[in-house]
Amino acid sequence: MAIRLGDTAPDFSAETTEGNINFHEWLGDSWGIFFSHPKDYTPVCTTELGRVANLKKEFEKRNVKVIALSVDPLDSHKGWINDINETQNCTMNYPIVADPDRKVAQMYDMIHPNALDNMTVRSVFIIGPDKKVKLTLTYPASTGRNFDELLRVIDSLQLTANYSVATPADWKNGEDCVVVPAIKTEDIPAKFPKGFKEIKPYLRMTPQPNL
Mean pLDDT, the chain, rounded, equals: 94
pTM: 0.92
Question: 13-144 belongs to which homologous superfamily?
Answer: Glutaredoxin (3.40.30.10)
Measured CA to CA in angstroms, residue 169 lies from 2, 134, 149, 176 at distances of: 26, 18, 12, 11
Contacts of 104 (CB under 8 A, 6+ apart): 12, 14, 69, 97, 110
CB burial of residue 72 (10 Å; 0-12, 13-18, 19+) = buried
Under the banding of pLDDT at 50, 70 and 90, the label for residue 172 is very high
- Residue 113: per-residue pLDDT: 65
pLDDT category of residue 25 using cuts at 50, 70 and 90? very high
Q: Render pLDDT for 65-111 as a digit per residue (tens, 0 to 9).
A: 999 999 999 999 999 999 999 999 999 999 999 999 999 999 998 88
User: Would you state the pLDDT for residue 100?
Assistant: 93
Which part of the chain is CATH 3.40.30.10? Answer: 13-144
Give the pLDDT of residue 47. 97
d(CA 73, CA 76): 6
Residue of 117, 144, 101, 122 whose CA lies nearest to 37: 122
Q: Supply the pLDDT for residue 40.
A: 93
**What is the average pLDDT across 32-36?**
96
Average pLDDT over residues 35-53: 95
Percent of the chain exceeding pLDDT 90 equals 89
- Average pLDDT score over residue span 161-185: 96
Amino acid at 75: D
Which residues participate in catalysis according to the annotation? 45
With contact defined as beta carbons under 8 Å apart, do 117 and 1 qualify? no
pLDDT band at 115 (very low <50, low <70, confident <90, very high): low
Q: How far apart are CA 163 and CA 149, in angstroms?
A: 21
Predicted local confidence at residue 116, as pLDDT: 56
- pLDDT at position 117 is 59
Q: Where in the chain is the domain with CATH 3.30.1020.10?
A: 164-206
Q: Where are the beta strands (DSSP E) in the chain?
A: 13-16, 19-22, 31-37, 64-70, 96-98, 122-127, 133-139, 165-166, 177-179, 197-200, 203-206
114, burial (CB in 10 Å: exposed 0-12, middle 13-18, buried 19+): exposed
Strand partners, 8: 132
Q: Give the architecture (CATH level 2) of 164-206.
A: 2-Layer Sandwich (3.30)
